[in-house]
Amino acid sequence: MRKGILLVMCCLTAVIFLISCGPEAPKTIKIGFNIPLTGDIPKVGEGSKFAAEMFKEKVNAAGGIKLGDKSYPLEFIYVDNESKAESATAAALKLINQDKVLGIIGPQSSKQAIPAGEICNNNGTPMISPWSTNPKTTKDRPYVFRGCFLDPFQGPVAANFATEEFKAAKAAVLYDIASDYPKGLAEFFKEAFEKVHGPGSIVAFETFTTKDRDFSAQLTKIVKSGADVLFVPQYYDEVPLIVKQAHELGWKKPIMGSDSWGSAELMNLCGDDCKGLFFSTHYAAAGAQGATKEFIDKYKEKYGYVPDDVGALTWDAIRLMVQAVQNAGALTGDMKKNRDAIKDQLAKIKDFDGITGKMTFNPEGDPSKCAVVVKISNTGEFEFYKSVCP
Amino acid sequence: MTLEMFFQHFLNALQWGSFYALIALGYTLVYGVLLLINFAHGDIFMVGAYIAFFIASFLLGSYSLQLPFVLDGNTIFVITVIITMVVTSCVGVTIERVAYRPLRKKGAGRLYVVITALMCGLVLENGNLALLGASRKSFPELIEKSIYTIGGITFTNVKILVIVTTILVFILLETIVRKTKLGMAMRAISYDSVAVLLMGIPLDVVIVFTFILGSSMAALAGVLFVTAYPVLEPYMGAMVGWKAFIAAVVGGIGEIRGAFVGGFILGFIEIYVAAVFPSTLRDLIAFAILLLLLSLKPTGIFGIARAQKI
């Protein structure tokens, strides 16, 4: 018993001693990644990690980032959020409290980015979600930023494109009601389409829930509804099944998607059924120029495939974060001060020249940038078709 | 809902129900003999789908080890089905041998065996995740898809294949269990597994045979499932497996007719609810109906009340 008390006392003394030493200024620039390495969309996590690794190697090979008179190497910490909302908040907390990162990149999809954004904002840690397009992610959260355009912008882009390109007067939508991103985008599409063609022009607004594999009931209704175009704002996991089943049930009209289609994995899973379809996205790999082309070539050489939009957006998000760290100047021992300085610098960034387009943050933490409509070519490549700016 | 749409949904429901029925048959076979709910069954279905994927890819010549001759799609499909059923049966029998039999020999309570089954399922799921990673696989199109439209109703050859196979399998299993000696032994074990030994019936052989039957049904369901929905992922068996189990219970677990009817009931309810209401209500209404069915007849539609059940 007495030994036990002695042990506790020793531990306490040690803890007090450690605390009294005071925090040291960090020796590296630590950035956390809250990404889906397993779960429904592992390819998204892989693309983000590959882009990050590429960036880290490039910077660290050149001696790190110079702040004041000292050079700091980059240190990236990857945490898997399993593509789940609960795990994303846990991952954010771990990165903030345990790993003591300066800022967080990710989560990628809105389903995780919305709850994780809440955690980061409450803990005063800057976060950039490269891929989340739902407005809720950054709304009223000064610490949360994003690297892409928003759904209220993407919805009208898809609606107008369908009207002009396919001469569509009636449209159908099929989306996952249990997921924030498809649900938000489906509603914005409906609003924009009905604004042009009047109420009732969305003849089928059908839903399903995550993990569903059979869509025959919903697609039967859509095929018989007389719609001219089908809008499917889903992830690459469901798109092949939906497109194939639609064709099997006799749908011969165009199908249109959103930026969540733009994964390198889509064509592996979908094959011939997806060829000739369109989707709106952040960048098109085929026909890229300048720094974008350089990034694509390097990535392809290193990992053996053309990077998708997540990879490119993550690259831009890291550059934004590093830019803000550089602008904030030397790191201090006070973590809160460091994080606040980075947040202030992020908000000030103007005309940032990213590989996915020029960005300037508005007070909400959202950049204004252009969208691209991509056509899936007969060889399965994502070809640039049209650029739409706000 | 027009008549045309009604029949289109009817056909869709037949296909979807077929998968539930095929998987439910496996649950019911094992339960009928051992009174064991084999919760690993949904994952054996997943394993079957993955085995089929590797065999089909091999036969198509996607790997460095090539066949000296080229086969056409339909032949590959038939060979894939047969080999997958054999290999998956081995997996099922291995699980029985490694996990269930030692417990049975030690006279462990049935609850422990059920928990073991649950663990086996999780091991299969996560083992697959660790081995092959989380990225999706796409099942190659072996049967050339043709789309027919008759009187406004559209269907594919795959759909017909799935429905016809399920019905044939049902007839085959009914015959085995009702008309053969092995079937008689299976039924006898479920009545009294102690007396059966005294009658000179080889208990372990019959049990292994049951697992072979059940696992090969899961394998068949797996191949057909990925032919119809060609995206493979490690957790694909979990939800379908659970629902098929519920279908088996509703039909009367232990009864082959029960699994068949229960599977189709669940398929029909799911499709028609999604067709009439928003699909968010699908599971809610489907399971509310099943709950009602069970409360009216707790042993399931074809079930007979027994003294002990879990």
The pLDDT profile of chain B, 310 residues, written as one tens digit per residue, is 788 889 999 999 999 999 999 999 999 999 988 888 899 999 999 999 999 999 999 998 878 777 777 788 899 999 999 999 999 999 999 999 999 999 988 888 888 989 999 999 999 999 999 998 878 899 998 988 888 988 888 899 999 999 999 999 999 999 999 999 999 998 888 888 788 888 888 988 999 999 999 999 999 999 999 999 999 999 999 889 999 999 999 999 888 999 999 999 999 999 999 888 877 788 899 889 989 988 998 888 887 766 554 4
DSSP 8-state symbol, A273: G
Beta bridge partners of A280: A373
DSSP string, chain B: --HHHHHHHHHHHHHHHHHHHHHHHHHHHHHHHH----TTHHHHHHHHHHHHHHHHHHHTT-SSS--SS---HHHHHHHHHHHHHHHHHHHHHHHIIIIIHHHHHTT--HHHHHHHHHHHHHHHHHHHHHHH-S--EE----SPP-EEEETTEEEEHHHHHHHHHHHHHHHHHHHHHHHSHHHHHHHHHHH-HHHHHHTT--HHHHHHHHHHHHHHHHHHHHHHHHHHS-EE-TTHHHHHHHHHHHHHHHH-TT-HHHHHHHHHHHHHHHHHHHHHS-GGGHHHHHHHHHHHHHHHSTT-SS----S---
Domain ranges of chain A: 29-149+288-369, 151-281
- Nearest residue in A to B276, CA atom: A217
Partner A contacted by B15 (CB < 8 A) = yes
Closest-CA distance, A228 to chain B, in angstroms, reads 18
Same fold, A29-149+288-369 and A151-281: yes
Tell me: the pLDDT tens digits for A22-39?
A: 556 788 899 999 999 988
Q: How far apart are CA A286 and CA B226, in angstroms?
A: 32
- Given A46, A250, A269, which is nearest B149 (Cβ)? A250
Q: How many CB pairs under 8 A join A and B?
A: 95
User: Fold for domain A151-281?
Assistant: Rossmann fold (3.40.50)
CB contact under 8 A, B136 and A214: no
User: Fold for domain A29-149+288-369?
Assistant: Rossmann fold (3.40.50)
Beta bridge partners of A286: A383
Beta bridge partners of A232: A257
Dihedrals phi, psi of A383, to nearest 5 degrees: -100, 140
Enumerate the residues of chain A whose CB falls inside 8 A of the CB of residue B159.
Answer: 248
The pLDDT profile of chain A, 390 residues, written as one tens digit per residue, is 566 666 666 665 655 555 545 556 788 899 999 999 988 888 899 999 999 999 999 999 988 888 878 889 999 999 999 999 999 999 999 999 999 999 999 899 989 999 999 999 999 999 999 999 888 899 899 999 998 888 888 888 899 999 998 999 999 999 998 888 899 999 999 999 999 999 999 999 999 988 889 999 999 999 999 999 999 999 988 999 999 999 999 999 999 999 889 887 888 888 889 999 999 988 888 777 788 889 999 999 999 988 888 999 999 999 999 999 999 888 888 889 999 999 999 988 888 888 888 888 888 888 888 888 999 999 888 888 888 876
Q: Which two tokens stand for residue A202?
A: 């969305």
Dihedrals phi, psi of A199, to nearest 5 degrees: -60, 145
Tell me if B41 sits within 8 A of B26, measured CB to CB.
Answer: yes
- Given B2, B134, B156, which is nearest A42 (Cβ)? B134
Domain ranges of chain B: 31-233
Residue of B4, B8, B270, B287 to mutate for A, most A C-beta atoms under 10 A? B8
